[in-house]
Amino acid sequence: MSGDIIWLIHRLRLSLGMLGPVPRPEALVSQVGLPITPSSVALSRREPMKVVVFSHNLCYEGASISLVELVLGWIHCGVVNPELVAFEDGPLRDEYQSHGIPVKVLPSVLHKISTLKRLSIEVERLALHIQESGAELVFVNTLLNFPAILAAERAGVPSVWNPRESEPWESAFRFLPDPVAKRAIAAIGLPRKVVFVAQATQKVWSTFDVQGHFEVIHNGINLNRFPLRNDLDERSRCRSALGLKTGSIAVLCVGTLCDRKGQMDLVEAFAVMPEAIAGRVQILLVGDDCGNYAEAIKVRCRSLTFNALGGIRIVPPTESIASFYAAADIFVLSSKVESFPRVVLEAMAFGLPIITTPVFGVLEQVVEGENALFYPPGFSGLLAEKIEQLVSDDALRLRMAESSLQRISQMTTFDEMVAAYASICREAVS
């Protein structure tokens, strides 16, 4: 049976809900040898390491933005001499290249690897690129880039994997046929280190850590990207520029409009709010709005009647996201699955009270009753109640806003995160 037919059959069975969990594989064991250079020499080296960094895309998304910040942090510290490989172009390409980082955009491979033979072809292609680059280390962002982990092994180069998703291992690669999905899962045993961004995410994969290679480094964000945060004049300017009405309460939600991020909860919450509350609320959904889920949100929004102040606005991804945080009064995270979402850290940096689903690493970021209120995913009525609570109580909003600023001041800083990753990379090549 051809790979194309296998792929079509798999996608059909997946759409019909006919597929169960991916069978558990045994983790692969790396055969990449240790370098001849003594460890003490390698760890004390002063010249930057040649590192090939793999990103699934160059779009304004949390994982991709966090990666570009990390790589630029490494360069500032003189740790790496990076080359960036991505499988989808986007606006972040300019940020890499403006700092002299070579960027190569390769065709996406995920839709081609319906069989192990096709996977092998793609892995060989990536391995050749790694070998030709002269890389000492391969750093791979997100689970979706598992072919790069397999390619690093094929090229004989040590790797570090940085998963930023929290889906259970048995469903994380369910979009692939079983033989390929099992190989993707088994690749978790190959890197010198697997660095998760939340304890909750590490726990999802913990049974595969047979060699003790798993580690957690909480995300830290580069606050220099937001030089005017929490400035009252900037807030006024941003609210005016965004057309927010005087007296309105701006509720911000940032992220690609998709089922996993659950923004329909916020739309349905608005639909059931008391008229007096809905009349004060302006909801801003900022994120990529392509696909069936996004279209369903647009259709539902058109069915709602908005008054003079209230309403829902959908805004494309933007590099000027700071303007939205500065203008907002409340931040909502409606996701069903997250790891350690960057947007929550950004919301705290701008001193916003947060309403969130208590999923995975979110519980490592916020404290219920202090800077956050919780609601279960899908319970839009409860979300409406939480929004009403904050809209109606100015003192509570202010108290939670102050708690957000205090909370983020106690968390992993950007410099601490960069140093921790740098240490891991040095160890990986020693």
Q: Comparing C-alpha atoms, which of 252, 256, 255 is closest to residue 235?
A: 252
15 within a domain of the structure (yes/no):
no
* pLDDT tens track, the chain, 430 positions: 677 788 788 888 888 788 889 999 999 999 998 665 544 444 455 689 999 999 999 999 999 999 999 999 999 999 899 999 999 999 999 999 999 999 999 998 888 899 999 999 999 999 999 999 999 999 999 999 999 999 999 999 999 999 999 889 999 999 999 999 999 999 999 999 999 999 999 999 999 999 999 999 999 999 999 999 999 999 999 999 999 989 899 999 999 999 999 999 999 999 999 999 999 999 999 999 999 999 999 999 988 876 545 689 999 999 899 999 999 999 999 999 999 999 999 999 999 999 999 999 999 999 999 999 999 999 999 999 999 999 999 999 999 999 999 999 999 999 999 999 999 999 999 8
What's the confidence (pLDDT) of residue 6?
83
- How many structural domains is the chain composed of? 2
68/108 same-domain check = yes
299 within a domain of the structure (yes/no):
yes
304 within a domain of the structure (yes/no):
yes
What's the confidence (pLDDT) of residue 17?
82
Residue 356's H or E segment, with its range, is strand 354-356
Helix/strand number for the chain, H first, E second: 18, 13
345/418 same-domain check = no
188/333 same-domain check = no
Q: What is the DSSP letter of 100?
A: T
294/212 same-domain check = no
3-state secondary structure of 214: strand
What's the confidence (pLDDT) of residue 41?
45
Contact predicate 361/198, CB 8 Å? yes
Bridge-based pairing of strands 214-216 and 330-333 is unpaired
What's the confidence (pLDDT) of residue 15?
81
Q: Comparing C-alpha atoms, which of 345, 349, 350 is closest to residue 364?
A: 345
Q: How many angstroms separate the CA atoms of 295 and 359, rounded?
A: 25
CA distances from 125 to 2, 101, 144, 357 (A): 21, 22, 17, 41
317/418 same-domain check = no
SS (H, E, C) 278-334: HCCEEEEEECCCCCHHHHHHHHHHHHCCCCCCCEEEEECCCCCHHHHHHHCCEEEEC
What's the confidence (pLDDT) of residue 13?
85
Contact predicate 263/253, CB 8 Å? yes
* Residue owning tokens 């109640």: 385
Those residues whose C-beta lies under 8 Å from the C-beta of residue 136, and which sit 6 or more positions away, are 49, 50, 51, 157, 158, 429
298/419 same-domain check = no
83/216 same-domain check = yes
What's the confidence (pLDDT) of residue 430?
81
32 within a domain of the structure (yes/no):
no
285 within a domain of the structure (yes/no):
yes
Which own/partner contact pairs does 240-245 have at CB distance under 8 Å and 24+ positions apart?
241/323, 241/327, 242/284, 242/323, 242/324, 242/327, 244/282, 244/327, 245/282, 245/308, 245/309
CATH of residue 352:
3.40.50.2000
Q: How many angstroms separate the CA atoms of 201 and 251, rounded?
A: 28
Type of residue found at 388: E
CA distances from 295 to 123, 255, 270, 290, 292 (A): 35, 15, 18, 7, 5
248/318 same-domain check = yes
Question: Which strand ranges, in their side-by-side order, compose the sheet holding 49-55?
Answer: 103-105, 80-86, 49-55, 137-141, 159-162, 193-196, 214-216
Tell me, rounded to whole angstroms, the distance of Cα 295 from its chain centroid. 22
281/241 same-domain check = yes
What stretches of 106-245 adopt beta strand conformation (E)?
Answer: 137-141, 159-162, 193-196, 214-216
Contact predicate 324/284, CB 8 Å? yes
231/353 same-domain check = yes
What's the predicted TM-score (pTM) here? 0.92
328 within a domain of the structure (yes/no):
yes
- Pair of tokens at residue 23: 């069978």
Residue 398 belongs to domain spanning: 223-409
Q: How many angstroms separate the CA atoms of 194 and 203, rounded?
A: 12
Those residues whose C-beta lies under 8 Å from the C-beta of residue 297, and which sit 6 or more positions away, are 257, 263, 264, 267, 285, 289, 314
Q: Comparing C-alpha atoms, which of 39, 8, 11, 15 is closest to residue 427?
A: 39
Half-sphere exposure of 382 (CA within 13 A, CB side): 11
Contact predicate 297/267, CB 8 Å? yes
27 within a domain of the structure (yes/no):
no
12 within a domain of the structure (yes/no):
no
| Opening angle at CA 177, ends 174 and 181, nearest 5 | 60
89/54 same-domain check = yes
78/102 same-domain check = yes
What's the confidence (pLDDT) of residue 202?
96
Q: How many angstroms separate the CA atoms of 113 and 176, rounded?
A: 8
Q: Comparing C-alpha atoms, which of 265, 278, 274, 283 is closest to residue 327?
A: 283
Inter-axis angle of helices 380-392 and 264-272, nearest 10: 60
